[in-house]
Amino acid sequence: MRRFILCLSLCLLPVALAAQQAADAVEPEAAGAGQVAVSEQTLHALEAKAAGRPVEAKDWMVAAANPLAVEVGARVLEQGGTAADAMVAVQAVLGLVEPQSSGLGGGAFLVWYDGESGELTTLDGRETAPLAATPRLFQDEAGEPLDFYDAVVGGRSVGVPGTPALLKAAHEAWGRSEWTGLFDEAIRLADEGFAVSPRLSTMVAGDAVRLTRFAPTRAYFFPEGKLPEVGQVLKNPDYAETLRTLASEGPAPFYTGDIAQDIVATVQGAPGNPGVMEEIDLAIYSVKERAPVCVPYRGYEVCGMGPPSSGALTVGQILGLLAPFDLAGMGAESAEAWRLIGDASRLAFADRGRYMADTDYVPVPVEGLVEPGYLAERAELLKGEAALEAVEPGAPEYDHALNWADDASIEFPSTSHISIVDGYGNALSMTTTIENGFGSRLMVRGFLLNNELTDFSFTSHEDGRPVANRVEPGKRPRSSMAPTIVLKDGKPVLVVGSPGGSRIIGYVAKTIIAHLDWGMDVQEAVALPHLVNRFGTYDVEGGLVSDELVGALAGMGFEVNRNVLTSGLHAISVQEGGLLGGADPRREGVAVGR
Ligand code: GLY
């Protein structure tokens, strides 16, 4: 395969410049600082993204947050691997080149459509709270919630990682390629070094104070005491060694072996903010298969990850609340359409805050929350002309008594999403995270440990009523991750997901609406400017949304806030004649297929 060298910021450049760089390409061996080798295929995919066009393919496609990771996944698919095989290889590279977002120290949710059986499966590789954790984990001695970063940075926020076990579980269930070989490219890149991307360099610079607090993290992210520049070659021999162990021994050393011991020692020994994780917490970890949550919308089934994620339920509620309204007729520029979407989202978030949590610990009215009659009744609230003044949780049908207080969880944008369709008709949608950018900032053996436990509510109760998403021993914190597969007549038509904290839900819902209601192709749908309303304030994307639309929404009574909304959507649409891929122009990802 011919390979080209180009600046990693190519995705931000116009097509003409990209073509010029291709013409100036040199051999990979000659690649210096600031450059990275990509295949011709990836180059074309990046050009398509820069031009706002979807990437076309016939047989398979992979879309993820970094070209190096996508290329490795593409090679696996090209050699006959399944989407599960490719995902393992992609995740191994993402943990190296995009370490701030996901990795072996984190957790993930995976939605799988099986091309042979037509079945949909969801796997929960979410982190768990240590057995010694209590509902007051994130409160001070007076019972007041800690400041967010006081909780995040250090050992207190670290949950038992699920990603190593999830990779193995997915491979055992659906893999065809040899497990050990799936790590070769990531090991090579970690040993030989990779070119630091603009996004990684910027994020390290922006987080320098926290990243320099712990010696191993400081040593890695500030080689020779300096900020890594864009294109600088960064090696991670510790990560290479960890991957060799994972390749040869599987995930066992992470849960019962010497890696587990190192994780516990690092968490317990974190200066200033130790955690309570013990070896038993890792030893009892398991990946859980959960029932997918599917909601009908415009003749499609929108399917995703149920609790402990709030993703599929909240996306499903938003779409279900919008079902009675003619969004297609209104169009993407219509203030009325965005009034409906914004207030549907607020109603869904009110239910999310009250009812959604880990079903292994609290009874969640999963069916009641997306029951068409309940949503139709809630949708009556949307029939006015102005923004809703007050939004309260509804009363879905339940089979256990529910008397929860509303939660108080804080989630910042982070995380990564992988969408893959393979040559066997399988589809995979996986959102993967270490929570905050750089997680807890603690590094063990070349990977960062998550701060996922801060996805629990910091408050545990209110007026004597418990919060459903409070910390409990062994519990999984509620997530917003919404890896989604949309089905038509039982077959996938759209594979999509995004990072972005609790805004993930709005990003994914918008992309589905743009594609299904407004007929946009996946690249247009992904790129469409965001308007996200979770709790009342309407966040609209920077300068991308017209003053006219912003003014109309303000006139309806919304408080509107222009904001930076850095989604990282990766979407593949499955059509009669092949596949179309879209990668979020807001980040460095790409969709590649053949
Ligand atoms: N920590 C991101 C999420 O789970 O939603």
Give the ligand 1 atom nearest the CA of 414: 2
Residue 158 lies in a domain: yes
pLDDT on residue 407:
72
Residue 279 lies in a domain: yes
Its pTM stands at 0.94
Ligand 1 centroid to Cα of residue 477, in Å, is 9
pLDDT digits (tens, 9 = 90+) for 83-93: 999 999 999 99
pLDDT digits (tens, 9 = 90+) for 80-135: 999 999 999 999 999 999 999 999 999 999 999 999 999 999 999 999 999 999 99
SS3 273: coil
Q: Which of 434, 504, 505 maximizes ligand 1 atoms within 8 Å of its Cβ, making it the mutation to test the pocket?
A: 504
User: In terms of residue numbers, what domain contains 131?
Assistant: 2-289+409-593
Mean pLDDT of all residues in the chain?
Answer: 92
- pLDDT class of 402 with cuts at 50, 70, 90: confident
CATH number at residue 567: 3.60.20.40
Give the ligand 1 atom nearest the CA of 502: 5
Determine how many CB atoms are found less than 10 A away from the CB of residue 121.
Answer: 17
Residue 142 lies in a domain: yes
Q: How many domains does the chain divide into? A: 1
Ligand 1 pocket residue status of 56, Cβ below 6 Å = no
Residue 140 lies in a domain: yes
Residue 65 lies in a domain: yes
> Using an 8 Å Cβ cutoff, are 206 and 178 in contact?
no
Give the ligand 1 atom nearest the CA of 415: 2
Task: Give the orientation angle of helix 311-322 with respect to helix 335-355, to 10 degrees.
Answer: 140
Residue 322 lies in a domain: no
pLDDT digits (tens, 9 = 90+) for 285-316: 999 999 999 999 999 999 999 999 999 999 99
Residue 56 lies in a domain: yes
Residue 382 lies in a domain: no
Whole-angstrom Cα distance, residue 284 to residue 386? 51
Q: Write out the DSSP string of 51-81.
A: HTPPEEESS-EEEES-HHHHHHHHHHHHTT-
Whole-angstrom Cα distance, residue 293 to residue 487? 12
pLDDT digits (tens, 9 = 90+) for 411-450: 566 799 999 999 999 999 999 999 999 999 999 999 999 9
Q: Write out the DSSP string of 166-207.
A: HHHHHHHHH--S-TGGGGHHHHHHHHH-EEPPHHHHHHHHHT
Q: Return the H-helix or E-strand segment holding 352.
A: helix 335-355
Closest residue by Cα to residue 115 from 495, 574, 492: 492
Catalytic residue numbers read 415
Ligand 1 pocket residue status of 200, Cβ below 6 Å = no
First to last CA, the chain: 13
- What percent of the chain is predicted at pLDDT more than 90? 89
